[in-house]
Structure 1
Amino acid sequence: MEPPGSFFLKTGFTRFCVSFFQNQFIKKNNRTMTRQLLFLCLIISWAGCQETENTSDAYGNFEATVSTISAQGNGPLLWFEVEEGQRLDAGQVVGIVDTTQLHLQKEQLWATIRALPKKLRDALADIQVLEKQKANVRRERDRLQRLIAKKAAPAKQLDDLNGELEVLDQRIAAIRAQTSLANRAILAEKEPLRAQIAVLEDQIRRARIVNPVAGTVLTKLVEPYEVVRTGTPLYRIGQLDTLT
């Protein structure tokens, strides 16, 4: 293919030939030779026109939309099924990053959650001790009331026993409140642990390498069993169906 402008060079050269030979041969009155040369120049000019018709009237580069697909997890690339020139569909799973450590961390968190009920405080034993003390004080109070009724004991002793019962009731209420508060704090640990499990489950899902767009693999950048990190380029894919 000749570059644009070759036609003009040829036609310009043709005009020069015609003008030159006309001047030379007219001077010599050789009209026959002049006609032959003119005919030859016309043939050359016509050939140049034919070649110009086959020349492209536009030039440019065709480009495809190229995407670089990167890893979204950390670890060895256990499985990676991508080859250059391969056609991939959107949503197609092409590889997976090792998730062993993520599963172990998840199991550890579940074990912590299962152990939480064992950490709950049981105030029943302490309360039972105080309840026995209250029962003894009540019996003593009842006995004293009978003696007071017979005027065999001073009334002040009854006031002392009633005060002791009030103290025991206060101690029982305090133990119950403290136990409830401590148990709520223990149970509150469950929600943050569940949130950590949700994060790990998301990381496990991202370990699956899912091709996001349909296209043809242009470049394969890693091989199976290589250790990758989040953001490591894995391959480049081009949408050759939409050239620009």
Structure 2
Amino acid sequence: MKYKTLPFAALTLFLFSCKNTDNDYDASGTFEATEVIVSAEANGQILAFNVNEGDVLKENQLVGSIDSTQLHFNKMQLSQSKKAILSGRPDVEVQIASLVEELKNAITDKKRIANLVAGDVASQKQLDDANTRIAILKSKMEALKNSLNTTTSSLNEQGTTVNAQVAQINDQLKKCKIINPINGTVLVKYSNAFEMTMIGRPLYKIADVKNMILRAYVTSSQLSQIKLNQKVKVFVDFGKDAKKEYAGTISWISDKSEFTPKTIQTKDERANSVYAVKIAVPNDGFLKIGMYGEIKI
């Protein structure tokens, strides 16, 4: 999805404060809104799409879905593969059980031979052979444990790899849900249910029209009179002498000057260097994108 802020009419008009009458304004411009183009994050058929132009949507609202059947099948296959891999892990205790018993018997025989040697009934060689047998059994048991643990570790690693693949599938399944990103009003609808879509294809455009932005321009002499978060008065003409006042807040001031927009009629006015500013204005429902507004600092 892409974020952008665009006006829907001529960019701005510029008026100087002449201080002659109370009807003069410091600057004027047009209203904008933060727009978001919501795009598909998966390939496939749009199974559901509950979006219409003019709809007011909430942030994180589910508005549609893209076919995810094949992804579900892939996830099932990976789950079965993981079960098959982990089922091959050896049971260490069972595998070494016979060696454990043999070692117990060898230790018992050694004790018996040691008693016989003490009574001069058995030779020292017999005792040495018993000790050698015990050492060999212990070595075999340790080697088998190491081998079985290595096999178990390898299979666990393979299972972890499958887990990563499942996580990837889960992320793709999540992207098959069309989630609205911001609170706002749908401006344009680009796709419909049952159409095929692909990653990156625009689905609809939405704008936060409850928080409007008035973009205007001030001269370098006026720049010293304004600062961020400063409160200003915004006036909007609704026709038939119906003018309404709004409370605005300066939210952004450009750090670079530019020439006055060409909408200014005279050559001398266009030659002036000005600075763009943005005034945040809460919308009571009457403000529209592209509508003109005037400010008093």
Instruction: Answer whether TM exceeds 0.5 for this pair.
Output: yes
Name 1:181's counterpart in structure 2. Answer: 150
Structure 2 match to 1:236:
205
Report the CA distance between 1:233 and its aligned residue: 1.0
Q: Give the drift of 1:215.
A: 4.4
State how 1:183-198 maps to structure 2 within 5 Å: 183-198=152-167
Q: Which moved more, 1:175-184 or 1:163-172?
A: 175-184
Identify the residue that residue 121 of structure 1 maps to in structure 2.
90
CA apart distance, 1:231: 0.8
Deviates more, 1:209-218 or 1:159-168: 209-218
Match of 1:77 in 2: 46
Question: How many percent identity over aligned positions?
Answer: 32
Which ranges of structure 2 fall in alignment gaps of 5 or more residues? 1-27, 213-288, 291-297
Q: Compared with structure 1, are the counterparts of its residues 154 and 98 closer, same or farther at alpha carbon in structure 2 (3 Å cutoff)?
A: same
TM-score normalized by structure 2? 0.51
One-letter amino acid of the counterpart of residue 193, structure 1:
V
Task: State the 1:204 CA deviation.
Answer: 2.1
Of 85, 88, 96, 2:56 maps to 88
3-state DSSP of counterpart to 2:204: strand
Separation in 2, partners of 1:148, 1:239: 96
1:169 equivalenced with 2:148 (yes/no): no
Give the unaligned 5+ runs of structure 1. 1-58
Distance 2:191 2:78 in 1: 33
Distance in 1, Cα, partners of 2:138 & 2:124: 22
Contact 2:86 2:159 in 1 (8 A): no
Q: Report the residue type matching 2:142 in the other structure.
A: A
- The within-5 A match list for 1:18-37 is none
Query: In the superposition, relative to structure 1, how do residues 202 and 153 fare at CA in structure 2: closer, same or farther (>3 Å)?
Result: closer
Distance 1:233 1:98 in 2: 17
Change (3 A) 1:142 1:98: same
Residue in 2 that maps onto 1:223: 192
Q: Higher relative contact order by CA 8 Å / sep ≥ 6: 1 or 2?
A: 1
Look up the match of 1:20. Answer: none
CA RMSD of aligned residues (A): 3.4
Residue 69 of structure 2 is matched in structure 1 by: 100
1:206 alignment counterpart: 175
SS at match of 1:219: strand
Answer with 1 or 2: which has the greater Rg: 1
Letter in 1 for 2:155: I
Structure 1 contact 89–211 (Cα < 8 Å) conserved: yes
Deviations 1:157-196 (A, max 9, x none): 3212321221111111221232223223323444443343
**Structure with greater helix share of residues:** 1
Change (3 A) 1:133 1:62: closer
The alignment covers a number of residue pairs equal to 186
Check whether the contact 1:88–1:211 (CA below 8 A) recurs between aligned residues: no
Change (3 A) 1:191 1:146: closer
Task: Using the TM superposition, give the Cα deviation of residue 129 of structure 1 relative to its aligned residue in structure 2, in angstroms.
Answer: 3.2
TM-score of the superposed pair, with normalisation by structure 1: 0.60
Match of 2:36 among 42, 67, 71: 67
C-alpha distance in 2 between matches for 1:240 and 1:138: 86
Deviation at 1:77, TM superposition (A): 0.6
- 1:104-140, CA deviations, whole angstroms, 9 ceiling, x for partnerless residues? 2223333334445421112445433334544564566
CA-CA distance at 1:210 after TM superposition: 2.3
Relative to structure 1, is the Cα distance of residues 129 and 224 closer, same or farther in structure 2, using a 3 angstrom cutoff?
Answer: same
